[in-house]
Structure 1
Amino acid sequence: MLNSINTNPSALIALQNLNATNTELAATQGRINTGKKVGSAKDNGAIWSMAKMQSASSSSLNAVKDSLQRGQSTIDVALAAGDTITDLLTKMKEKALAASDTSLNTASFNALKSDFTSLRDQITKATDNAKFNGVSLADGKTTKLSFLANQDGGNFTIKSQTLSLDGLSLSVGTSFSTATDAKAMIAIMTNALQTATNKLSSLGTSSTGLDTHLTFVGKLQDSLDAGVGNLVDADLAKESAKLQSLQTKQQLGVQALSIANQSPQTILSLFKG
């Protein structure tokens, strides 16, 4: 190799190698510190863009999950009211049956009638209170409710099931005045009870469908998050091993540069007598 006092090729090469090692070492330390192998668009524009889009999709699903959970709660409230109403109808039927007994005295008959009308009025209270977030699937004031189903704004629609007196073919005047009326009321209450259970069955089916879709959305979001992680997350075990290797390489580079810098001293020694 040509020796020169103006340039030191060996030192220049050693310095270039050391700078390259330092750059790679800084990048590796950055990946370990952030946990990301792609932290910005300059690291890998295509991967970064893809990860951002998937991350946005995952974030959008939070709104979908919130909406579906409101739907869940709305149905649960309606189902709870429905359970109460079927219990009330069952008791009303029992009162009507008892009042159909012609051997009852007037006081007993009137007591049964009073119980019957009290139970009837409780149905109205149950439907009036069957609201979540100000809306109800049981009071007959709406035909359906729609909740977000996906990030594109699609809807999951639930049909209302009116459990008020009108929805059960009853009225605020439903009652009986005689044992004969009470006997006829038994069939009316049986029909009302059947109507209520059918409507609760429909709500239950809607609830199952909504629960299934909510579970799917949760799994979809988990998959998107995992996909983002696969795209941008660093393999910390691999990066740690690489860090140790680069640190060793850096030390060797410093030594190589030091040795190369001693070359001019060799030239000077040639001029010593």
Structure 2
Amino acid sequence: MALNSINTNSGALIALQNLNTTNAELQTTQQRINTGKKIASAKDNGAIWAMAKTQQGTSNSMNAVKDSLQRGQSTIDVALAAGDTITDLLGKMKEKALAASDTSLNTTSFNALKADYESLRDQIEKAATNAKFNGISISDGSTTKLTFLANSDGSGFTVNAKTLTLAGLNLTGTTITNAADAKAKLTDLGNAIQTATNKLASLGTASTGLDTHLTFVGKLQDSLDAGVGNLVDADLAKESAKLQSLQTKQQLGIQALSIANSSSSSILSLFR
């Protein structure tokens, strides 16, 4: 037989426990909806939270890698632009040298060609030394190689420098003094053009390698971010449905507690 007591109301205690449980679940669900995460802190699930933080740190570090690779791309692009200009100038120098090798020229015409030749020569040096990005050049002979970040562990992607100055093309101090000398310079200029194009081809290969690795790093970062999301992100559709259910359950719990509390007042009827 159930005990009629005003000191202990078992029904109310049970209803209160159930209501408190529902309120706790409702608070958790609301927090997930507000933050968009099912694991927002270490107390939600320490192991998963730690794993997600580690992967998130790796993903964030990839931003530095991408920045470094993009600087590498820009540095090479500047060198390639200078190289295009230099090969054009070499072609014009060869044209001037060929014209100056004509023994039928008078002194005035030869000197004019010589001046053009030397002007083109000086422009080559300027193009090579001015081809800098952020103060760094791989075409002026100031460095032998540059290493850019390749991964979050600090490993690098090395690009070998290619000197495109007159010294790098074996044309230091080159000039033409007469028709015979101009004819002899044709071989030097042909070799310089071949050397320049070989060096530019190598830089182009390095640029392609940087592009490929940068694409890979971007995909890797996306995969890491997706993995972190799978670990900690909440299913908002599921949480929304659960919220509706818990709100209904909360209202029913309040009513059940009210009914359980009112049962004690029925004892008063025994004393009338």
Q: Same fold (TM over 0.5)?
A: yes
| C-alpha separation in 1, matches of 2:217 and 2:194 | 35
The 5-angstrom pairing of residues 2-21 of structure 1 reads 2-21=3-22
Q: Partner of 1:42 in structure 2?
A: 43
What amino acid sits opposite 1:109 in the alignment? Answer: F
The 5-angstrom pairing of residues 219-234 of structure 1 reads 219-234=219-234
CA RMSD of aligned residues (A): 1.0
Between the two proteins, the alignment pairs up a number of residues equal to: 271
SS of the residue corresponding to residue 36 of structure 1 reads coil
My pick for the range that moved more, 255-264 or 99-108, is: 99-108
Q: Partner of 2:101 in structure 1?
A: 100
1:25-75 residue CA offsets vs partner (Å, 9 max, x unmatched): 011101111111101000000010001100111111111111111111111
| C-alpha separation in 2, matches of 1:98 and 1:165 | 21
Are 1:212 and 2:212 counterparts? yes
The 5-angstrom pairing of residues 82-231 of structure 1 reads 82-171=83-172, 173-231=173-231
Runs (5+) with no aligned partner, structure 2 = none
Q: Partner of 2:260 in structure 1?
A: 260
Runs of 4+ in 1 over 6 A off after TM superposition: none
| C-alpha separation in 1, matches of 2:23 and 2:267 | 30
Identity level (%):
77
> 1:271 Cα deviation (Å)?
2.8
| C-alpha separation in 2, matches of 1:211 and 1:93 | 35
What amino acid sits opposite 2:59 in the alignment? Answer: S
| C-alpha separation in 2, matches of 1:144 and 1:5 | 88
Runs (5+) with no aligned partner, structure 1 = none
SS of the residue corresponding to residue 205 of structure 1 reads helix
| C-alpha separation in 2, matches of 1:197 and 1:188 | 14
What amino acid sits opposite 2:188 in the alignment? Answer: I
> 1:220 Cα deviation (Å)?
0.8
1:170-212 residue CA offsets vs partner (Å, 9 max, x unmatched): 11x2111111111111111111000000000000000000111
1:100-154 residue CA offsets vs partner (Å, 9 max, x unmatched): 1222222111111110000000011011101112211101121111111111111
| C-alpha separation in 1, matches of 2:263 and 2:175 | 115
SS of the residue corresponding to residue 270 of structure 1 reads helix
* TM, length-normalised to structure 1: 0.97
Q: Partner of 1:71 in structure 2?
A: 72
SS of the residue corresponding to residue 157 of structure 2 reads strand
SS of the residue corresponding to residue 138 of structure 1 reads coil
Are 1:246 and 2:227 counterparts? no
What amino acid sits opposite 1:209 in the alignment? Answer: G
